[in-house]
Amino acid sequence: MNVTIVDYNSGNISSVINSFKEAAKDKVKIEVTSNLNKIKSSDKLVLPGQGSFKSCVDALSSINGLIETLNEFAIINKKPLLGICVGLQMFADLGYEEIETKGLGWISGKVSKIDNQNNKFKLPHIGWNDIKIIKESRIFKDIENKSHMYFVHSYEFIPDDKSTISATTEYSSNIVCSVEKENIFGTQFHPEKSDRIGLKLIENFLNL
């Protein structure tokens, strides 16, 4: 099996690469590339994302044909794809970081700034927080409810269809931290920085 981490210059993804290689244990080939043919021929894709919604969308758009290739992979061919952090947020129709920016439109909804309740809650939301698993998701196999995951974000994804939400976390309000829609998975937290439980989630994705 061939799993590709999409490298589109969205910040440092070395911890994503290292943790996927560790979870793959040489049984799965992990490739890191922006080559469209390699992406097309992959069995699964990982879409990381660091920085702002707009900067990540701009970075995807700057590689000719990449967004079309991702659409073909996830929406037409329905192969498994995991979005991490801004990688998940880009599933939305629109993001409101910096300026209104169009997302991939895979899961209808928007990305807005977390309501910090007049500075009662620090932004960005950084650190460990427990997650509430609210629907059975294949990437949470053998992961306990209330497990702790690592977060770094100031914006949250608000999907229109609540049935796509697989986990939430409590920070100023109930924040969506994981989604699943058919073959599309996304986590707001960073599994690659979430110790052995994060590695288990990565392993679950590789084993789909």
**pTM, entire model:** 0.97
* β-bridge mates for residue 176, sequence order: 168
Catalytic residue chosen out of the listed positions 97, 156, 190, 203: 190
Model pLDDT, residue 119:
83
Selecting among 56, 85, 125, 153, the annotated active-site residue is 85
Grouping H, G, I as helix, E, B as strand and the rest as coil, residue 59 is helix
Q: CB-based burial of residue 203 (10 Å sphere; 0-12 exposed, 13-18 middle, 19+ buried)?
A: buried
Domains located in the chain, CATH noted: 2-206 (3.40.50.880)
User: What's the pLDDT tens digit per position in 21-62?
Assistant: 999 998 899 999 999 999 999 999 999 999 999 999 999 999
192 is catalytic: yes
- Output the average pLDDT for the chain: 96
pLDDT value at 150 more than 90: yes
Q: How far apart are CA 37 and CA 109, in angstroms?
A: 30
16 Cβ partners below 8 Å, 6+ apart?
5, 46, 48, 84, 192
**Residue spans of beta strands (DSSP E) within the chain:** 2-6, 29-33, 44-47, 81-84, 94-95, 101-102, 109-113, 125-133, 148-153, 155-159, 165-171, 173-181, 184-187
